[in-house]
Amino acid sequence: MGLGFRPDVGSSGNLALGSSACSRSIFSTRGEDKLAGKGIKAHDEIRVCIVDDHALVRQGLARVLELEPRIQVVGEAGDGLGAISLANELRPDVILMDINMPGTDGIEASRIINRDHPNTRIIALTVYDDDRVFEVIRAGVSAYILKDVEAEELIRAIIDVHEGRSIIHPRVTGKVLGEFTRLSNSEGDGSHLDRLTQREREVLELIAKGEANREIANRLYISEKTVKNHITSILRKLNVHDRTQAAIYAIKCKLVEP
């Protein structure tokens, strides 16, 4: 069963007011349930903020994330301004961001946070029929996940983006690629790929296959710092904002198969 809105699930732990009236820092104790034995290794802690204008959704997501010992929910907000405030105050590793919120929505908040805190990964949470999928990607999110995702899949997505991977839910991949093709036709078919060195093309291909920086470094026998330098060059030459857009460009130009 997917997460849905889970109105029957409450939150645990004590809440303390953060710097924004619509945001809160959370300091909670762990529940007994863990996703032990699920193939998810225990490494460094991942600090997560939850942003959604429905309190019950935030509470349900927090309870789900308590199942994974690596993840600590450190804050929550009910709108985009609260999300920006949390990002400035807490510098979380990952933000779960609802896209459709009143006032400053998730897209604008993601754009600002991605600009000011590029090391914070943003996972966009939305519904399948959202017609702003491509706009969300352009805002610099690291993952686009549907709200009916299974709990374990959401936890896996958080760990993956924290490790440098980018994720687009399979059910919306076609929509994203179609919109990207429509907007990119004027640029020619893969013309920007000619600007890349052979090594940069190899790195881009591995990015498009969903590999993290560490995996790319191991596969190509180079350092992670060198991988990051290659990615910076790739983004500049392709005129895209992040690795997700670079991966979509590579797929569109048939450098790799979707």
| Structure token pair of residue 167 | 């994720």
Question: Angle 213-220/198-208 helices, nearest 10 degrees?
Answer: 130
pLDDT tens column, 68-120: 999 999 999 999 999 999 999 999 999 999 998 988 889 999 999 999 998 99
Q: Lowest-confidence range among 46-50, 105-109, 253-257?
A: 253-257
CATH topology for 14-174 is Rossmann fold (3.40.50)
Q: Lowest-confidence range among 26-30, 143-147, 168-172?
A: 26-30
The H-assigned helical ranges of the chain are 55-65, 80-90, 106-116, 133-138, 151-162, 170-184, 198-208, 213-220, 224-238, 243-252
pLDDT at 36 over 60: no
Structural domain boundaries in the chain: 14-174, 188-252
Q: Three-class SS of residue 74?
A: strand
Strongest mean pLDDT among 4-8, 9-13, 137-141, 251-255: 137-141
Q: Three-class SS of residue 146?
A: strand
- Our CA angle for 252, 96, 124, nearest 5°, is 25
Q: What is the mean pLDDT of the chain?
A: 78
Question: Angle 224-238/213-220 helices, nearest 10 degrees?
Answer: 110
- The answer regarding whether domain 188-252 maps to CATH 3.30.750.24 reads no
Q: Is 220 within 8 Å of 202 (Cβ atoms)?
A: yes
- Find the mean pLDDT for residues 53-75: 94
